[in-house]
Amino acid sequence: MTTAMAKMSDYAFVAAMLSTGLATLLYLMYALSGLRAARMQTAGGPESGGALGFVSGPRTAAIGRYATIVGWLAVLAMFASLVFRTIATGHGPFANMYEFSMAFAFGVLTAYMWFERRYHQRILALVALPVALIMMIYAATIPADIEPLVPALQNNLLLTVHVAVAIVAYGSFAIAFAASALYLVQTGSGPTFLIGAAAGLATGAGFLITSGVGEAVLYGIAVSLAAYVVTWLVRRFVLRSDADATEAALEASGGRWGLPRPQVLDEIGYHAVVVGFPFLTLTIILGAVWADVAWGSYWSWDPKETASLVTWFIYGAYLHARVMRGWRGTRAAWLLVLGFEATLFTYFGNYFFGGLHSYAGLG
């Protein structure tokens, strides 16, 4: 029974991975098709009918619909996988990084689909789905064995809720990140963001091959942050590019390359944090309750606790910054990028700092 359920979970997981991959591809085609249509429009050409005789307008919409359907399939498959896994193990998905990464991917997928339903901005998928896909691929590479719970984790209800609440927060923050990334690439900060992100990803990939996930995430984040700052300084003081002017022009024109209007992305980012922040708060509180029951102290400055508090501070600062008029747009988007990097730092924290959360079966 247990093995059968575990098998079902594995199959569903593979199905989820394949459909997420396919959905990512479809969303990419959707974006390219939309970009073509946008170009046609700006070039003054007919709204439908491209160089190869494509009818790009309706075609774009059709691809988008398929992408959405496949995206929901991925959500369903991932949900099924989690349910089977829970039946097989007898507890929520919190016992090791494999289970938690499945839950993270599910959170990002679901948050994306929910935001797509609400805001009709399929372009967000270009950032959100790869994040989910990377989490799934990562989960697929680590041991998935079902092992009985060590004493500290024998608190099924509390930990299941803790993780469930955490994935809502993480999923929302991934959406906020997607919105801010798409915002930044359209503004004068675009090159800075892309150079920083590319440097971070390249460093991460390098360390992934030579060392491990912990180093990859830690140095990837550090290098991307450093690259943001350096690129910004160079562009500001050496190249003397004027980001503000491009931004003003952008607001007036309303979006580049067929991407959503910056104002809309700004709103989506804000709403994602408005959803995610209370859930992060609850995650931290529930974590503290568990720590108090299991270890006799609600707060131990364990590195993972600390990192989650750092993330909380950053999103707290964002929410306060956002209501000050000057902090909409570019600067707010940068805070969201910082917030998501802190989220990843929190998530992968146990790899590089051990501490009380080092249970997670990484040996």
Partner 1 sequence: MTHEVGSRPLSKAPPPAARPAAKPSAMDYVDRGLEALWSFLTSMRLAMVLLLALAALGVVGSLVVQAPQGVLDNPSAKADFLAEVRPKYGGWTGLMDTFQLFQIFNSVLFKVLMAGLTISLIACSIHRMPGVWRTITKPRLDVGPAFFEHAPQHEAVVVRHTPAETLAIVAGVLRQRRYRILSADDGTIHVYADRFRWALFSGLIGHLALVVILAGVIIGAYYGYRDSNFSIAEGSTLAVGAEPGLSLQLIDFTDSYYAETGAPEDYASQVVLYKDGNEVARHTIRVNDPLHYGDTTFYQAYFGPAAVMTITDASGNTVVDEGIPLAYSAEGGRRGGIFLIPGTAYTGELVSTLGNTDPDIKPGQMQLTLYARDTGSVVDSQVIDQGTTATVGDLTVTFDRESQFTGLSVSRDPGVMLVWLGGALLFGGFALRFLLPHKRVWARITPRGKDGAVLAVASLGSRDAALGTDFEKLVSDVRAALKAPARA
List interacting residues with partner 1 (CB under 8 A).
Answer: 119, 147-148, 150-152, 154-155, 264, 267, 271, 274, 277-278, 281-282, 285, 288-289, 292-299, 301, 303-304, 306-307, 309-310, 313-314, 316-317, 319-321, 323-325, 342, 345, 349, 353
Nearest to 111 by CA among 171, 69, 68: 171
**Sign (positive or negative) of CA dihedral 340, 344, 347, 350:** negative
Q: Minimal distance in Å, beta carbon 301 to partner 1?
A: 5
Cα separation of 306 and 302, whole Å? 6
Strand segments, DSSP code E, in the chain are: none
Nearer to partner 1, 85 or 304 (CB): 304
Nearer to partner 1, 40 or 307 (CB): 307
Nearer to partner 1, 63 or 169 (CB): 169
Q: Minimal distance in Å, beta carbon 340 to partner 1?
A: 14
Q: Give me the half-sphere count of Cα atoms (radius 13 Å) on the Cβ side of residue 10.
A: 12
Q: Minimal distance in Å, beta carbon 162 to partner 1?
A: 13
Structural contact between residues 11 and 88, judged by C-beta atoms closer than 8 angstroms = no
Nearer to partner 1, 45 or 354 (CB): 354
Buried-exposed string 144-182: b where 16+ CB fall within 10 A, e elsewhere: bebeebeeebebeebbebbbbbbbbbbbbbbbbbbbbbb
Nearer to partner 1, 36 or 357 (CB): 357
Q: Minimal distance in Å, beta carbon 5 to partner 1?
A: 18
Q: Minimal distance in Å, beta carbon 168 to partner 1?
A: 13
Q: Minimal distance in Å, beta carbon 355 to partner 1?
A: 8
Q: Which phi-psi region, left, alpha or beta, contains residue 162 (left: φ > 0; alpha: ψ -120 to 50)?
A: alpha
Cα separation of 187 and 181, whole Å? 10
Nearer to partner 1, 58 or 117 (CB): 117
Nearer to partner 1, 49 or 148 (CB): 148
SS3 content of the chain, % helix, strand, coil (to 5): 80, 0, 20
Q: Minimal distance in Å, beta carbon 278 to partner 1?
A: 4
Residues 6+ apart with CB under 8 A from 234: none
> Structure tokens of 253?
């024109």
> Structure tokens of 54?
């494509």
Cα separation of 13 and 102, whole Å? 8
Nearer to partner 1, 184 or 286 (CB): 286
Q: Minimal distance in Å, beta carbon 71 to partner 1?
A: 21
